[in-house]
Amino acid sequence: MKKIIPLVAAVALVGCEQEMVPEASAITCAPVAFQQTISELSRESNRKAFTEACRSFEKAQRMREWEFEPSSPDRY
């Protein structure tokens, strides 16, 4: 029983050290901040998740951009 308690405590501490992947936003996905965040993430899976989140965010931003284009005059 005495050996189980330190093991449980060690497992609990390891679980607390999970690094969080930052949320994708205009600030965190800017080129300089993006490179800094990627270099700070230690796990490859977290780097891939953050990269995909930024790509998705940037794609959504491009879809929201629009420019007014007048329609051609009717020729009936």
CA atoms within 13 A on the CB side of 11: 6
**Length of the chain measured in residues:** 76
Distance of alpha carbon 24 from alpha carbon 31, whole angstroms: 12
What percentage of the chain has pLDDT greater than the value 70? 75
- At residue 12, what are phi and psi to the nearest 5 degrees? -65, -40
- pLDDT at position 32 is 95
Q: What is the mean pLDDT of residues 31-56?
A: 94
Enter the pTM of the model: 0.64
Other Cβ atoms closer than 10 A to 60: 10
Name the more confident of 66 and 42.
Answer: 42
Domain range annotation of the chain: 21-64
pLDDT in tens, 22-39: 999 999 999 999 999 999
